[in-house]
A = this chain, B = another copy of it.
Amino acid sequence: MQPRADFVTLGVRDTAVARAFYVDGLGWPVQQEVLGEVIFIQINHGLILSLWNRAAMAHELGAELSNGIPPFTLSHNVGSSAEVDDVLATAATAGASSIVPGTTQTWGGYAGYFADPDGFRWEICHNPTWTVDDGGGVTV
């Protein structure tokens, strides 16, 4: 199995609410959508963020899905601490909640978090020892 992920899929309670945040709020472009079922957003070259109806996900997985705060984050890296604060402010305007403000971290960087409408946490991060290229790729 090659080390590769093609989709990151978040189980959302209401795709309309997820759409209001990611598409209307953050302005991310929809690649493909099945109304009320799933929204695909291309987030990287070769990586699609999928916002999938949670009940449909549970059915396909054949399992009850947990509530509460998922033990999982997505990180979005930027080039400076000021940009971290800017992105957290943008997310708040778009309707994010549970913001952890930008904070200098013990590992030397600066990062904060927001929660999307389903509680999925995004870390917004500046790590001065890592390189973010023009296309947004990170080199550790």
How far apart are A89's CB and chain B's nearest CB, in angstroms?
A: 10
Q: Are B61 and A31 in contact (CB under 8 A)?
A: no
Chain A: how many interface residues by the 8 Å CB criterion? 67
Q: Are A5 and B44 in contact (CB under 8 A)?
A: yes
* Residue from B2, B40, B69 within 8 A of A136 (CB atoms): B2
Copies of this chain assembled into the complex: 2
A residues 4-34 near B (Cβ < 8 Å) are 4-11, 26, 28-29, 31-32
* Interchain CA distance A123-B135 in the complex, whole Å: 27
* Interchain CA distance A91-B42 in the complex, whole Å: 27
Q: Are A77 and B3 in contact (CB under 8 A)?
A: no
* Interchain CA distance A5-B132 in the complex, whole Å: 12
Q: Are B62 and A65 in contact (CB under 8 A)?
A: no
* Interchain CA distance A136-B2 in the complex, whole Å: 9
Q: Are A47 and B5 in contact (CB under 8 A)?
A: yes
Residue with the greatest number of chain B CB neighbours at <10 A, chosen from A1, A8, A63, A72 = A1
Residues of B with C-beta under 8 A to A138 = 6-7, 46, 48
Q: A6-B77, A48-B138 given. 14 additional CB < 8 A pairs?
A: A1-B26, A1-B76, A3-B42, A4-B43, A4-B44, A8-B8, A44-B46, A44-B47, A46-B138, A61-B69, A61-B121, A63-B98, A66-B68, A72-B72
